């Protein structure tokens, strides 16, 4: 796992629940680093 992967995961785990909920409710795409962390954690749906 690269340093970038670890940073992306850290961004996810330090994210406030409300922020992620806002992305979902607005249907907005989260920032790329957040998407990367979610995918690494298996929490980002495949499209």
Q: What is the pLDDT of residues 35-47, one digit of tens each?
A: 899 899 998 876 6
Mean pLDDT value of segment 26-41: 89
Q: What is the pLDDT of residues 11-21, one digit of tens each?
A: 888 887 778 78
Asked whether the predicted pLDDT for residue 29 surpasses 70, the reply is yes
Mean pLDDT value of segment 18-28: 82
Residues of 3-39 as b/e, b for ≥16 C-beta within 10 angstroms?
eeeeebbebbeeeeeeeeeeeeeeeeebeeebebbbe
Asked whether the predicted pLDDT for residue 7 surpasses 90, the reply is yes
């Amino acid at each position: 796992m690269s340093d970038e992967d670890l940073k992306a995961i850290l961004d996810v785990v330090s994210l406030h629940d409300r922020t992620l909920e806002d992305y979902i409710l607005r249907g907005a795409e989260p920032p790329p680093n957040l998407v990367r962390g979610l995918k690494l954690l298996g929490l980002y749906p495949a499209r």
